[in-house]
Amino acid sequence: MAFYASRIIQILPYFLKGLLMTIEVSGISLILSTVLGFVLGILRTADSKLITRSIGVYVDVMRGTPFVVQVFIVFFILPSWGLQLEPLPAAILALTAMTAAFICEVVSGGIKAVPKGQWEAAAASGLTRMQQLRLVILPQSMQTILPPLVGQYVLMIKDSSVVSVIGVTELTRVGWQTVVRIPEGLMVFTLVGILYFVICYPLIRLSNYLEHRLSLQTVKL
Amino acid sequence: MIVFKNVHKWFGKLHVLNDINLHVRSGEVVVICGPSGSGKSTLIRCINRLEKFQQGELYVDGQALHDHSINLTKLRADIGFVFQQFHLYPHMTALQNVTLAPVNVRKIDKKEAVALGREKLARVGLADKAEAYPAQLSGGQQQRVAIARGLAMNPKIMLFDEPTSALDPEMIGEVLDVMVQLAGEGMTMCVVTHEMGFARQVAHRVIFMDAGQLVEKGAPDEFFDHPKTDRAAQFISKILTH
Ligand SMILES: Nc1ncnc2c1ncn2[C@@H]1O[C@H](COP(=O)(O)OP(=O)(O)O)[C@@H](O)[C@H]1O
Ligand SMILES: [Mg+2]
């Protein structure tokens, strides 16, 4: 036991550095994918068939291919098209592109869940399309959007482990690097798992709380 | 104020509006009735361009609606629309519902808008419900808030699409009272309704639609007591027995 403890103290600094990198990659991707996902989700509900179909194709491709393949494409294929990225920006680009597709679906689903009469009432009073969306539709959609949105963040943090394959020294890669050097393999990946859980768990609770609040509100209305 | 000239509209193959000609003068109250599916909603929804039409001409307050370059938000700002299902914004109080468009479309000052909103709510008899959310109001109260929301834009025209059809019978009166008062003040109104009492009391003209056609128009008493067409006679006998 004492042996384990000293081992943990020995390796912990590396793991914390890995954890910080995981938080950095996920955090930046979270912000970017939220912005991009909302823009795509809003455009997905637009009138133009060309726009909605193009976004639909994009979303299907992102949802229908393994994330690890997407990461390889960004890191190894894009350079041959002239876009050469360091591992960290490549990881952020891949995570953002994938998560934005899922957020797009969450957002457009939330917007479509608002009854058509709300758009009509807002339009009839002279509000522009952007005002209708901002003042009337989105505030009502947020209730349905928030719980699955936070759920997407959890999935993204876990998927960020995949970017270890292109050499981003985040938590999972630190795990791989450590496990080849010391004999306690089980302990290493248990620690990796615990550290992921520590950042994901509050978000899971938040998502559950938002969902619970939503169901209460639906009962009230 | 509103002029339809040979207006046609199709939903796919369905000919919903078939050669509509109609002239509504300023200050006139026109009641539109007819069987379900005859195109009444579509007709009044064309007036504020919630629906487009494919053929013909439509002028509203001097603007040509068949010209697709018109400024839609400006047109709609001057036309109040009351829906059968109210469509109040559920996340806002009654007062916020009423002041939303004045603040964001007319760009009037917040304080001024609140005073205006309270005045319009008082006018529909709901001064004490300003802070209530739609879910806390009865159907009749919600519909009156919806009317106040339209009035807050000081519209030139008010359109009503079966404003009392979704209401329990005991709440119909309170909504009709507000509309009667509005008609008395000289508002230009187009009202889709089967409330014959209301039509007889305030309408200048009744229009009867069937299968997308404007079949008959006339003064209310004349229309209800001596309909000229069989279709209208049949329809009137049906609403009388209900
Ligand atoms: N958005 C739509 N798409 C296709 N058909 C429609 C649409 N809206 C209405 N209709 C059809 O057009 C006809 C007239 O509808 P409407 O104007 O709502 O009639 P009313 O208000 O007199 O009951 C009906 O047959 C209805 O089914
Ligand atoms: Mg109708």
Write out pLDDT tens, residues A149-207: 999 999 999 999 999 999 999 999 999 999 888 888 888 999 999 999 999 999 999 99
Q: What is the pLDDT of residues B13-64, one digit of tens each?
A: 999 999 999 999 999 999 999 999 999 999 999 999 999 999 999 999 989 9
Token output for B11 = 């939903």
pTM for the full model?
0.89
Mean pLDDT in residue range A109-130? 96
Percent share of chain A, pLDDT over 90: 78
Q: What is the mean pLDDT of chain B?
A: 94
Report CA B232 to chain centroid distance, whole Å: 22
Residues pairing with B8 in the sheet: B55
Q: Report the C-alpha dihedral over residues B210, B216, B221, B227, rounded to 10 degrees.
A: -80
What's the pLDDT at B95? 97
Token output for B77 = 């700002």
What's the pLDDT at A220? 45
ipTM confidence score: 0.94
Token output for A100 = 């934005």
* CB < 8 Å to A131, chain B: 104-105
Single-letter code of the amino acid located at B189 = M
Range of the domain at A194: 2-220
Q: Do B77 and A126 touch (CB under 8 A)?
A: yes
Pairing of strands B157-161, B188-192: parallel
Q: What is the mean pLDDT of chain A?
A: 92
Helix axes B169-184, B139-151, angle to 10 degrees: 20
Pocket of ligand 1 (CB under 6 A): B 11, 14, 16, 34, 36-42
Mean pLDDT in residue range A76-86? 89
Residues pairing with B15 in the sheet: B10
CA distance B231 to B236: 9
Atom in ligand 1 nearest the alpha carbon of residue B38: 22
CATH number at residue A171: 1.10.3720.10
C-alpha closest to that of B45 among A139, A116, A138, A42: A116
- Quick count: other Cβ atoms within 10 Å of Cβ A193? 12
Q: Do B100 and A139 touch (CB under 8 A)?
A: no
Mean pLDDT in residue range A60-82? 93
Unique residue bearing structure tokens 């000239």: B5
Whether residue A217 is predicted with pLDDT greater than 80 in this model: the reply is no
Number of domains in chain A: 1
Give φ, ψ of B35 to 5 degrees.
-65, 160
Residue among A115, A131, A221 whose CB faces B104 most closely: A131
Tally: H helices and E strands in chain B: 9, 10
Give φ, ψ of B168 to 5 degrees.
-65, 145
Assign B160 a pLDDT band (cuts: 50, 70, 90). very high
Whether residue B85 is predicted with pLDDT greater than 60 in this model: the reply is yes
Assign A221 a pLDDT band (cuts: 50, 70, 90). very low
Dihedral of CA B31/B34/B39/B42: which sign?
positive
Token output for A39 = 């823009």
